[in-house]
Amino acid sequence: MPFSDYRTALVTGASSGIGLAVVERLAREGLKVHALARSADALRALAARTGCISHAIDVRDIAPITKLAQRIEVDVLVNCAGVDRPKKFLQSDPDDIDLLVDVNLRAILHLCRLLVPGMAERDRGHVVNITSIAGAYNFAGNSSYHATKAAVSMLTSQLRVDCFGKRVRVTEICPGRVATDIFAHVHGNSAETRANFIDGFELPEAKDIADAIAFAIAAPVAVNVGYIEITPTLQVPGGLSTTRPEVSSKPVLPT
């Protein structure tokens, strides 16, 4: 559906990274963009630069999100907000689990609950969910993050089923490593973090993800771009690891 057929968009996680780049791109396409994030200062700067309408709201706070959804008509919903707390699940922290479920999954469920029925009623709309290769492949990291991203991937597919017969399109954008400040948020804003995750790598940038989203939205109304996986050319997901069983260090006593 051409951008001219849409009027408004709501983007979460809009104060930085992919969310910020999406706001910039959709604003350039002429949409009235509602930008939602926790950081009021960053949103004010973004609004001054792009003309977006800023909403300093935590996606975990359902009450103000509900009020916002009742006030505006949204044609394009882009769920970018996400967090991670890398840790082996054997050492998982209950607060970390709650945070990841609330931000990465619960908020998206509620936003879709609040906005997608209106899209279906108007027979016009597009939902874009940012997941991760962590939702499709197993690798060392935080199992809670993998689980929430996999759940959003299934939700994205299921929305297509639930909206069958309506011109509500649904797209999953599944990035690998992208050069954004998420690594600084998760691991600390340090030279070591940049050296481990950014410096020296050839990585897609946030604007590349925004361009992919724009491609999906701009497709003809008869076309639903359901899934786009975007990784660095020099990154491969998955892998196969094998280990030997641990050998006990205890002496074997004669019998």
φ, ψ at 173 (rounded to 5°) = -105, 120
Active site residues: 145
* φ, ψ for residue 196, nearest 5 deg: -75, -30
Q: What Cα–Cα distance (Å) separates residue 165 from each residue in 121, 123, 168?
A: 11, 9, 9
Q: Which residues contact residue 7 at a Cβ distance below 8 angstroms, ignoring those fewer than 6 apart?
A: 31, 32, 73, 75
- Give the C-alpha distances (Å, rounded to integers) separating 2 from 113, 147, 163: 25, 34, 20
Phi, psi of 242, rounded to the nearest 5 degrees: -135, 140
Spatial separation of the C-alpha atoms in residues 245 and 251, rounded to whole Å: 17
Structure tokens at 130: 């940012």
